[in-house]
Structure 1
Amino acid sequence: MSNIIIYPIEEQNKITKNPINIGIDLGTTYTLMATVDAANVNFNKTNQIPVQFVRFPQFSPFEFDQTIEDEKIASIVAFYKGKPYVGNNLYHLKGHPEFQYKKNIFYHWKVEMGVDHHPLYPNAINEKLDMPYKIAGGIMNYMRKTYSQGNDYELANTIITVPASFQANQRKDTLKAAKMAKISTNDTMLIDEPNAAFLGYFNRLVDSEKERWSKEVKNKNVLVIDFGGGTLDLSLLNVDFRRDTGITISNRAISRYNDLGGQDIDLLIAEEHLLPKVIKTIPNFDSLDISDVKNTILPQLIVMAEDLKITVCNAMSLKVGSGDISNLNLSEIIATRLDNILVLNNNSYDLGELKLTAEKFKELFVKFFRGKQYKFKYFDKAITTISTSISEIIEKSNETLDAVDFVLLVGGSSFNPLLGALTQEKLINAQLLVSPEPDKLVAEGAGVYSFFVNQYGISLISPITSDNLGVRLKGNRFYPIIERGQSLPQIVNIPDFKLQTNLLSEVIVPVCINGADFSIGEIRCSLNKFYDIDTIIKIEAEITQDKVFKMQVIADDEIIGNAKFENPYAIGKLTEEQLEVFEAQSNLNKAQQARNTSEEKRFLKTLIDKHFKANNYLGALENAEVYIKRFDDQDSWIWNMKYILNSRLGRLGAAKKALERAIEINPTEPAWRHNYAVLLEKTDAKAALEYLEMQAEDIKEETTIRCKIALLKNEVNKDTTELQKIVKDYKNNPAGFSQFDKRVLLNDIFGQVDEPYAYIDPKTKRRKEDEGKYLDMNNLPF
């Protein structure tokens, strides 16, 4: 054994008598437990920490399934005939007719940890399963009981991994799950998964390799790409070795939360490769409810897609050898799946033999790697691509792509050979670090980290802030309060702000992330007295170890406003409309938790409207279908919204069906008649005009119908007479026209007759008024 110091410890610094240290990788697809017995660690002989993985028996609800024993526990919980089950023996039950997702079988719950909507799974068969953290707690409790051989004692010295981008509420949910599982908790028991993965990788190096790193790796940047079943998590680390203290590992930057994982690849294959075959097989597919496609058809296709993905990746891996796929003939590598039966509404559809070539798989996977964003067709989800995530984390660290020295690929989805190949194309100077078991490195690193923390009180890696948090000032300027890349916790006091005028009765402080255009909320401060324009306004802010952001606004040593943002990084870069959706969803779930159905009904309708205004047509449509099934199938407004939303999504069969239902319920509503004319106009403008002209006089007198008839007359007969009348009426009485007329129809009408027209959105007007209440600064530092 050489005299080179690898780890910064001394034997006399031991702080605990309990020799057993535990690391748990609480994963989206699998959960693992790794242990380190301090009695077996001898730095005089080796710098490799002996890590043991615990094996767990996993049972099926059905007697004919053999018990599985494995180090990996599938992160699945099922409830069958009053009894809970955990693990790999439930994997084949996804899509089984006796198991309904989020009712009596739960998986991929991790991506919903921290969502403050109670209950998140309102259809759960048991209230012990109605929130993601309860699912997580059940899995870890099963592990604890099995590891302790049935003894009910609390598990100590335990570290649990979380995505680096997990924020306060997500981390709190993880701790709640640990408490449920009778695992001793504290504020320092969580470690970011990419950081744990690097520790696991480094630990697996033999001593000669560790010594080579200590001599050759000086101030090097390591990008860890943790691509798991449900999340893409990146961490840029700086690794250095010092002669007197050994290895030092510091976070340079962490990625924004991105719930992109292996499950999304399965969904991508299902939507783009398999669903077209289903559309040809099922009659009138275009008229199906979106919930049938999302909750019944796609879950079955996803199981088929996952099989094809694993088979084609394994075939590529066997042929690729060195990791270079450039010499492979991808069109000749084919995955085949036989006997594919799809069940919908008690009808079975035979999809026959399904195939996926490596060439097609690459074509699909590139959509997740390159470009800016990918949006699914039938799921309310848009993901940031892998390449964009890499570029963002490099930008955060104030580095360049060619400054990355090493890339470590970890997580179950890193078995996909395309990930390494495409990453190598982007980071041409980086050396790929590979492991034969990339899906076990996080758990191993957690065990290693647990050993150092619990035996010596040493944290090998410290957390940092991931983005700039600040305020919007007069003139739409951004002032950073707490900057990215700072070690946690941070407390700042900035006494440099001032009022715009001494006549203000209210001060508004928009709190933003990374720039003035990305608000995460605001502090509205009502002033109980008039302050002089020279009054110094202070902002005191704090971001805690678990990334809770607190802010106070102070005038003359008096607090005039304060706020707490528990998840600032997660909701950053949302538009104002998207923030309103977030608030509406929170209100809806609070009503559900309180079992207040009247409020639930009201907030659900609000949420549909907010989704629509945020251009999230799929999210609005999903909630509209819930409203009809749960509350009122005679609400013509909801059916009209279904028409609009299906139209925007290109589902014209379902759109026409919904609009006809709206008219059937309320035949005297002019707006529904207008929309039906729009539907007819897509193929025949003359028929649309005739349809409106045959309506009752009171309907034709309504301004929206008048506007539409005028536009159609000009389109069909080149007659502008009605257009001229409407322009004159609007100038005489603009209040007589609706916001829809002003926003949508009148601009076209004025344009047709060459008249100038201006429309000011009420929200824009309010924003202009608010800007006069923002804080100002004499001297900005930029």
Structure 2
Amino acid sequence: MKVGYRYNEATGDFELVEITDASNILSINSMLASSINDIREGQTYVGIDFGTSTTVVSIATYNKSSKTISVEPMRLDQLLEDGTRYQSEKLPTVIAWYKDTFLVGEGASNLKYKLRKGENIWYSFKMEIGEDLGAKYFNSAVKNVNGISIINPKDCVKVFFMYLKILITRHCQNHNLSQNINYAVSIPASFEANQRKDLMEALETNGMTLNKQSLIDEPNAAFISYVHESQTSEKPLAIKSDYNSKVLVFDFGGGTCDISVLEIGKSVSGLYSKNIAISKFTKLGGDDVDRYITYHYLLPRFLSKNGKNQEDFITNERKFIASQLYKVSEKLKILISKALAVRMNDFVMPSDKNSTTKVSLTIPIEVRTSKGILSQSDFYLTYKELTDTMSIFTKNSKRATSIEGEEEYNNIFMPVDSAIEKSNIDTDELDYILLIGGSAQSPYIQEALNKHFTNSTILVPQDLQTHVSQGAAIHSLLMNGMNKCIIQPITSEPILVITRGGMGKMVMPAGTPIPSDTITIDDLATSRDGQSVIEIPVCVGNTNKMLCNLKITKSGGFPKDAKVTLTLEINADKLLQVHASCMGVSCMTEPQNPFANKELSSEERMVLAAERQSNIEAEQNGGKPSKQSLEDLREAYKNAGNDFKAAETYELQYTLYPDSCNLNNLGVLYHNAGVYSKAVEFFELAIKKSPRSHVTLSNLGHTSMLMGNYQKAEECLKKAYEIAPYYGITLIKLAELEERQGKRTDAKQHKEEAYDILKKQWEKNTLDKVELGWFSSLASELGHRDVYQQIKSSTSNSHADGLYNNDNLAKSI
């Protein structure tokens, strides 16, 4: 007897029932309009799941006699760091240069936290392609080794697929399979044009030419694999003729959380499946969980055991120490998760998930630092610590969790909500939630999804990590073998152009089928007479995500209201092609800003430009960034409001060029970032050099006060006032301290004195930007609204975007 899920109209729920109508069982055959017997023979059909942390390769074959498709993951040869051979169907997406040898896979992964990332080991590079940051790995030890160079993420992808092709070819030879190999590669559904383009170029460099539709979105590949797996099981997917089911594919791996919503139903051509929504690009994976565990639990214990604390190390060195502990965090996470998973019932976690039970692990870790060798062998993590960690990633919030001094932590419901909003369906309309990816094995993730989707059935495949590659292999067989694509891919974001006045005009909606028909836009025109340049910025998602800027130029200029025609088309590889013309003059797509996967403000764009320049100069300077490039980068971070990154950059400059730094200013950056202990460290270093610097003493006093050290604060502030009684900022800080000490009369007197001093300096126009900020706040607090309004109206924080000229934008007619 076969059973499947069927919709019960009386109860409004899905229930398990015996299936008697085979035509309603969703299968690969039922989704094809033509016979699968038409498949081309004498070829090998390979599917590659190119993962952030792990890559899996599978082969699909079709047996005409039994009319069945079989799929098997390849067991790939991998060289370990000690020279021995190792075989596994899971190939870590890691490259290492070790003892004058390239290691790819398990051997490289074992060295992941012993070598230096970007110098002699590379990982997580999948998520970095598509961004033109120049020589990102300017310290790379591989710049011309047998013709191979690794100086950016795209180089890593080229080297990785070069090695992968060798392994696939060798496997086919050893198993008497055809050397005529056809490939399909799965990628995140939210990968955009620039990322797909870099990947395609890396594949073509290695002779792995793909059919125009051989890139397949990971959620789609996962669904194909699940359909194939379930059709012969006791619980195949069954469809009611008058009801189209909705499936949310939740793909949670090492570096991305990718969501796709599919519709499955029955038409005159048979059963079908199609995309109806794809989530926004979201950087979130198991690696982020490991990072949180490391910084909040393992790193503090590791340093404490060695008699150190985080303030003993500059930021970059602290990051390096933390990186050596990531693998320990990952193993402890997996141990606890497995222990809880076996006792989970109907996706409900056991109550002891909040216990202080420790799970221990012995892994010898030794790290060479500027403060000596740090070592530890025994590590532990409690159930409650992992539960608290996972609460960060499973909370239902549209905002990431921000923790000072760390990268943001996204949560799983950010991409989930993004996909559901685009699908125009309610959460309770989702019939199935299909889990994919190694991180989706976490019992915490499964429990959170089950609680959220109360009316949906959670589907968990047998092997979440090899599932996507098997779907990609089936897609390779169908696409390359008979030119059939059984799931229609769609665009994940709308395409817009920026028109006169900075308005966004949608020219291609989200959900457009891929490949698309050619879309022609003919309601644009020039906005002024003699306009010599027409600019048409093309954006993805919204006006903050500019993909390219088309420029049509004409000597002598165009007349006002000259008609501008725009044509757009997305090809099968999700590459956007745009053409613009006016009065016979045309311009093709010319990408000028390839950062399409991030919503960027003007200041953030400037940061990326500064990062790229710093990398280029570092490569040219033997791996050492120039002083000027670091200063430019620091300024870009400050303008973007990222004081912490600005402080880190200035600290690096201090390490490389100590005589070029103002230690007081470095302390101010850390103070503004909320890292008070580091601020105090650099203020004290500055005072050693200049004991009578009233500005530094004032800053040290203020930071000490915020840390609760009132005695030191009073000592520094009074000394600063004694040296420079004309410095009004000291009086404001002293007044704040006195208020905290309950000395309100003294505080009021000092504020009024400070106001009089600063007002006179303001009237003489001698206040700098920082002093003006303090004076503005004080004027508002003391009720001097007229002065406050004058200061406010005379200052502006606006920055020109610089990516296009507003005067050249076309207008919408």
Provide the TM-score with structure 1 as the length reference.
0.85
Q: CA deviation at 1:50?
A: 0.6
Task: Flag the 1:272–1:243 CA change in 2: closer, same or farther, 3 A.
Answer: same
Note if contact 1:466-1:569 (Cα within 8 Å) is conserved in structure 2: no
2:63 aligned to which of 33, 36, 41: 41
- In the alignment, residue 723 of structure 1 is paired with which amino acid? Y
Task: Flag the 1:205–1:477 CA change in 2: closer, same or farther, 3 A.
Answer: same
Equivalent in the alignment of 2:473: 447
Q: CA deviation at 1:431?
A: 0.9
Note the 1:62-77 alignment, pairs <5 A. 62=82, 67-77=85-95
Task: Flag the 1:750–1:208 CA change in 2: closer, same or farther, 3 A.
Answer: closer
Equivalent in the alignment of 1:727: 759
Tell me how far apart the structure 2 counterparts of residues 771 and 585 of structure 1 sit (CA, whole Å): 26
1:610 aligned to which of 623, 631, 636: 636
Equivalent in the alignment of 2:72: 52
Task: Flag the 1:25–1:673 CA change in 2: closer, same or farther, 3 A.
Answer: same
Q: CA deviation at 1:420?
A: 1.5
Tell me how far apart the structure 2 counterparts of residues 334 and 763 of structure 1 sit (CA, whole Å): 51
Comparing 153-162 and 194-203, the one that deviates more: 153-162
Q: CA deviation at 1:406?
A: 0.8
Tell me how far apart the structure 1 counterparts of residues 385 and 523 of structure 2 sit (CA, whole Å): 58
Tell me how far apart the structure 1 counterparts of residues 589 and 32 of structure 2 sit (CA, whole Å): 42
Note if contact 1:636-1:666 (Cα within 8 Å) is conserved in structure 2: no
- In the alignment, residue 523 of structure 2 is paired with which amino acid? D
Note if contact 1:33-1:71 (Cα within 8 Å) is conserved in structure 2: yes
Note if contact 2:49-2:468 (Cα within 8 Å) is conserved in structure 1: yes
Q: CA deviation at 1:195?
A: 1.0
Tell me how far apart the structure 1 counterparts of residues 573 and 691 of structure 2 sit (CA, whole Å): 56
Q: CA deviation at 1:173?
A: 2.9
Tell me how far apart the structure 2 counterparts of residues 385 and 276 of structure 1 sit (CA, whole Å): 24
Match status 1:264 vs 2:288:
yes
SS of alignment partner, residue 564 of structure 1: coil
Q: Taking every aligned residue pair, what percent have the same amino acid on both sides?
A: 22
Equivalent in the alignment of 1:145: 166
- In the alignment, residue 293 of structure 2 is paired with which amino acid? I
Equivalent in the alignment of 2:52: 28
2:193 aligned to which of 168, 188, 194: 168
Match status 1:493 vs 2:511:
no
Task: Flag the 1:520–1:444 CA change in 2: closer, same or farther, 3 A.
Answer: closer
SS of alignment partner, residue 577 of structure 1: helix
Note if contact 1:708-1:745 (Cα within 8 Å) is conserved in structure 2: no
1:658 aligned to which of 667, 673, 682: 682
Tell me how far apart the structure 2 counterparts of residues 776 and 85 of structure 1 sit (CA, whole Å): 55
Tell me how far apart the structure 2 counterparts of residues 397 and 253 of structure 1 sit (CA, whole Å): 5
Tell me how far apart the structure 2 counterparts of residues 188 and 566 of structure 1 sit (CA, whole Å): 26
Equivalent in the alignment of 1:131: 152
Comparing 716-725 and 310-319, the one that deviates more: 716-725
Task: Flag the 1:620–1:526 CA change in 2: closer, same or farther, 3 A.
Answer: farther
1:29-56 superposed Cα distances (whole Å, 9 cap, x missing partner) = 222211123xx423x634x411122112
Q: CA deviation at 1:486?
A: 0.7
1:336 aligned to which of 360, 372, 376: 360
Q: CA deviation at 1:158?
A: 0.8
Q: CA deviation at 1:208?
A: 6.7
Match status 1:690 vs 2:711:
no
- In the alignment, residue 282 of structure 2 is paired with which amino acid? N
Q: CA deviation at 1:249?
A: 2.2
Q: CA deviation at 1:67?
A: 3.5
- In the alignment, residue 220 of structure 2 is paired with which amino acid? N
Equivalent in the alignment of 2:14: none
SS of alignment partner, residue 408 of structure 1: strand
Match status 1:746 vs 2:776:
yes
- In the alignment, residue 104 of structure 1 is paired with which amino acid? N
Tell me how far apart the structure 2 counterparts of residues 499 and 182 of structure 1 sit (CA, whole Å): 45
1:421 aligned to which of 432, 436, 447: 447
Q: CA deviation at 1:10?
A: 3.5
Tell me how far apart the structure 1 counterparts of residues 580 and 687 of structure 2 sit (CA, whole Å): 53
Equivalent in the alignment of 2:116: 100
Tell me how far apart the structure 1 counterparts of residues 553 and 729 of structure 2 sit (CA, whole Å): 44
SS of alignment partner, residue 238 of structure 2: helix
1:105-136 superposed Cα distances (whole Å, 9 cap, x missing partner) = 33333222333223222222212333334333
Tell me how far apart the structure 1 counterparts of residues 624 and 55 of structure 2 sit (CA, whole Å): 40
Equivalent in the alignment of 2:314: 289
Match status 1:273 vs 2:294:
no
SS of alignment partner, residue 437 of structure 1: coil
1:738-778 superposed Cα distances (whole Å, 9 cap, x missing partner) = 33333454342464362422325445386899878765546
Note if contact 1:30-1:75 (Cα within 8 Å) is conserved in structure 2: yes
Note if contact 1:551-1:562 (Cα within 8 Å) is conserved in structure 2: yes
Task: Flag the 1:83–1:507 CA change in 2: closer, same or farther, 3 A.
Answer: closer
Equivalent in the alignment of 1:627: 653
Task: Flag the 1:437–1:592 CA change in 2: closer, same or farther, 3 A.
Answer: same
- In the alignment, residue 720 of structure 2 is paired with which amino acid? L
SS of alignment partner, residue 84 of structure 1: strand
Q: CA RMSD in A?
A: 3.9
Note the 1:380-395 alignment, pairs <5 A. 381-395=407-421
Note if contact 1:9-1:456 (Cα within 8 Å) is conserved in structure 2: no
1:695-735 superposed Cα distances (whole Å, 9 cap, x missing partner) = 47xxx87xxx455557757847436345235324534x44x
SS of alignment partner, residue 343 of structure 2: helix
1:482 aligned to which of 489, 502, 508: 508
1:159-208 superposed Cα distances (whole Å, 9 cap, x missing partner) = 11111111223223323332454423454331111111111111112447
SS of alignment partner, residue 384 of structure 1: coil
Tell me how far apart the structure 2 counterparts of residues 176 and 772 of structure 1 sit (CA, whole Å): 36
Match status 1:254 vs 2:286:
no
Task: Flag the 1:113–1:722 CA change in 2: closer, same or farther, 3 A.
Answer: closer
Equivalent in the alignment of 1:233: 258
Tell me how far apart the structure 2 counterparts of residues 393 and 366 of structure 1 sit (CA, whole Å): 22
Tell me how far apart the structure 1 counterparts of residues 668 and 206 of structure 2 sit (CA, whole Å): 47
Note if contact 1:168-1:566 (Cα within 8 Å) is conserved in structure 2: no
Task: Flag the 1:500–1:83 CA change in 2: closer, same or farther, 3 A.
Answer: closer
Tell me how far apart the structure 1 counterparts of residues 36 and 59 of structure 2 sit (CA, whole Å): 22
In the alignment of these two chains, the number of paired residues is 756
Task: Flag the 1:457–1:553 CA change in 2: closer, same or farther, 3 A.
Answer: closer
1:277-309 superposed Cα distances (whole Å, 9 cap, x missing partner) = 34544334324211122111x123322211111
| Structure 2, gaps ≥5 residues long | 1-20, 144-148, 736-745
Equivalent in the alignment of 2:5: none
| Structure 1, gaps ≥5 residues long | none
Task: Flag the 1:539–1:94 CA change in 2: closer, same or farther, 3 A.
Answer: closer
SS of alignment partner, residue 465 of structure 1: coil
- In the alignment, residue 469 of structure 2 is paired with which amino acid? A
SS of alignment partner, residue 306 of structure 1: helix
Tell me how far apart the structure 1 counterparts of residues 393 and 652 of structure 2 sit (CA, whole Å): 30
- In the alignment, residue 82 of structure 2 is paired with which amino acid? F
Note the 1:506-545 alignment, pairs <5 A. 512-515=539-542, 534-536=561-563, 538-545=565-572
SS of alignment partner, residue 488 of structure 2: coil
Note if contact 2:60-2:470 (Cα within 8 Å) is conserved in structure 1: no
Q: CA deviation at 1:410?
A: 0.7
Note if contact 2:548-2:591 (Cα within 8 Å) is conserved in structure 1: no
Equivalent in the alignment of 1:570: 597
Note if contact 1:723-1:749 (Cα within 8 Å) is conserved in structure 2: yes
Tell me how far apart the structure 2 counterparts of residues 681 and 274 of structure 1 sit (CA, whole Å): 30
SS of alignment partner, residue 679 of structure 1: helix
Equivalent in the alignment of 1:242: 267
